[in-house]
């Protein structure tokens, strides 16, 4: 299951390339992204409590946060944060 989540996250990274200001308005989607991120956190916490690997859950959540940040970027500092995120792992 973790591999499928990682593949979906990387698909989101690629899809975020086309999420620029004229086509995509981040303000409209901010609440949905926040709720979705919270939902993913809760699902991953339940999976860890059921015995799944905490490392897989952490990597999956990091990828979800990365995709969230890419879809909601507004300035050059957002790009810098996404470049430094993978080095945290």
Show me where the domains of the chain are located: 2-18+26-88
Stretch 3-14: mean pLDDT, rounded? 75
Model pLDDT, residue 38: 95
Model pLDDT, residue 26: 64
Whether 47 contacts 59, CB under 8 Å: no
Q: Tell me how crowded residue 28 is: count the other CB atoms within 10 A of its CB.
A: 8
Model pLDDT, residue 25: 66
Stretch 47-65: mean pLDDT, rounded? 91
Model pLDDT, residue 82: 60
Kindly report the backbone phi and psi dihedral angles of residue 80, in degrees, each rounded to the nearest multiple of 5, phi listed first. Answer: -65, -35
Model pTM score? 0.69
**pLDDT category, 8, cuts 50, 70, 90?**
confident
């Amino acid at each position: 299951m973790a591999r499928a989540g990682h593949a979906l996250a990387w698909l989101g990274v690629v899809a975020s390339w086309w999420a620029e200001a004229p086509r995509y308005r981040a303000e409209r989607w901010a609440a949905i992204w926040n709720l979705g991120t919270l939902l993913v956190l809760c699902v991953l916490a339940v999976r860890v409590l059921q015995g799944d690997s905490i490392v897989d859950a952490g990597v999956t959540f990091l990828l979800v946060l990365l995709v969230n940040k890419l879809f909601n970027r507004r300035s050059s500092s957002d790009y810098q944060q996404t470049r430094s995120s993978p080095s945290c792992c």
